[in-house]
Amino acid sequence: MLTSAKITELDRRRVWHPYAPMPGSVPPLVVESASGVRLRLAGGAELVDGMSSWWAAIHGYAHPALDAAAREQLGRMSHVMFGGLTHEPAVLLCDRLAALAPDGLGHVFLCDSGSVSVEVAVKMCLQYWRSRGRPAKQRLLTWRGGYHGDTFMAMSVCDPDGGMHRMWDGVLPRQVFAGLPPGGFGAGVDPAYAAALTRLIASHAAELAAVIVEPVVQGAGGMRFHDPGYLRVLREACTGSGVLLIFDEIATGFGRSGSLFAAGHGGVSPDVMCVGKALTGGYLSLAAALCTAEVAAGISEGELPVLAHGPTFMGNPLACAVANASLDVLLGGDGTYPRGWRAEVLRIEAALRSGLAPAAGLPGVADVRVLGAVGVVQLEREVDVAAATAAAVAEGVWLRPFRDLIYTMPPYVTGDDDLARVCAAAVAAARQNGQPS
């Protein structure tokens, strides 16, 4: 066993962390174990996790049903290649995803991470149009404020100001950007914005393969919510202009916004949908791109009648088995949510609304907003991440702010007392940032 000091030293010397320099500037906390909603640090301190490990650990850590599923699958096989071979965990998972997804998404491509599923989704759309004899349709349209991952095609549709566009100017494909969708989940549809969006799609239709957006909740691009009516606007505009529609549900999938998929708030089905993050309850990296029979047929009847993509760890049985267990837990198989997951998300929504409300009155706070099990305190300027994190840790809570955002998306199993602590920590972090430095 390494001492915690040794881990910290080796980490600094050898290990890259997300969006970090090498060597790292701020030493990360050392976690020894996690169970329920608690992270146990080296030295014994415990933190209530307000982040679900970036939207993923929806049922908390070391969940007995997920642990058991992983152990049981380990006893059979942890992996076999997916070319020419198949197995029950993958087949069962794809069948269940197709049944749960918005109507029409009957075919499933499994892959290893959210960003890769975005690449696959885009490849599906580009190849669909190539196969249909329309190779000029190869650009994408999105609205500002989005985040779709860190691989190059995914980066090209991230918000051009918040993302890495300036650094990668000349490298990233140039996509078409609409303005930020007007904010507010229940704000209704702004007719002027809707008309401009529809016009933009129509005017670029000859070169557009697809429109790609995060439905209802824009995550790492700014934690903004918009009215589900815009999903219907997009659906109509895309259908009317002959452009495919991709929903990136990697953050929103599996109940986070209060609907199993955020598309459900608008009653809209895309042509292609990406899921990831919470798919395995945060246990293993697994994602999927789902598509309609029309998209699948378009590709499969083309000149190259295959989807030319096949990650080494495609359909990983261990990840699929845990994903199946996570769906069982979510959908009520084991008694984790006796009142159903939706009741817990609504309970968390109410707790976040009341618990984060005091932040609205603090100096330097621009906005406080909540939707489903997502709570956001937006500041007027960049968060001092080290100071904000320290303030949350002092309250016994793990939060990881970014840009001007202190935010939380707690596991659905978080109890009322722990939710109150998470909110108190977010408020403390916001107060800390309001102090003159």
Q: Closest separation between CB of residue 150 and ligand PLP, Å?
A: 6
Using the contact rule CB under 6 A, the part of the chain among 110-118, 254-262, 305-313, 401-409 near ligand PLP is 110-118
**Closer of 60 and 146 to ligand PLP (Cβ):** 146
Among the listed residues 61, 128, 147, 337, the single catalytic one is 147
Is 276 one of the binding residues for ligand PLP (CB under 6 A)? yes
Per-residue interface string for the shown chain with ligand PLP, residues 137-156, x marking contact by CB under 6 A: ----------xxx-------
The one among 209, 220, 273, 405 contacting ligand PLP by CB under 6 A: 220
**Is position 147 annotated as part of the catalytic site?**
yes
Q: Closest separation between CB of residue 231 and ligand PLP, Å?
A: 15
Three-state DSSP at 201 gives: helix
| 332-391 positions binding ligand PLP, by CB under 6 A | none
**Is position 128 annotated as part of the catalytic site?**
no
Q: Give dist(CA 66, CA 182) in Å, integer.
A: 39
Among the listed residues 248, 271, 404, 418, the single catalytic one is 248
188: left (phi over 0), alpha (psi -120 to 50) or beta: left
**Closer of 219 and 270 to ligand PLP (Cβ):** 219
Token readout for 57 is: 């650990």
Three-state DSSP at 358 gives: helix
Q: Give dist(CA 294, CA 299) in Å, integer.
A: 9
**Is position 277 annotated as part of the catalytic site?**
yes
Q: Closest separation between CB of residue 364 and ligand PLP, Å?
A: 27
Is 316 one of the binding residues for ligand PLP (CB under 6 A)? no
Q: Give dist(CA 180, CA 161) in Å, integer.
A: 11
Is 257 one of the binding residues for ligand PLP (CB under 6 A)? no
14 burial type by CB count under 10 A (0-12 exposed, 13-18 middle, 19+ buried): exposed
Name 213's bridge partners.
247
**Is position 19 annotated as part of the catalytic site?**
yes
**131: closest CA among 234, 244, 213, 240?**
244
What's the DSSP call for residue 209? E
Where on the chain is the footprint of ligand PLP (CB under 6 A)?
113-115, 118, 147-149, 214, 219-220, 248, 250-251, 276-277
- Catalytic residue numbers, as ranges: 19, 147, 248, 277
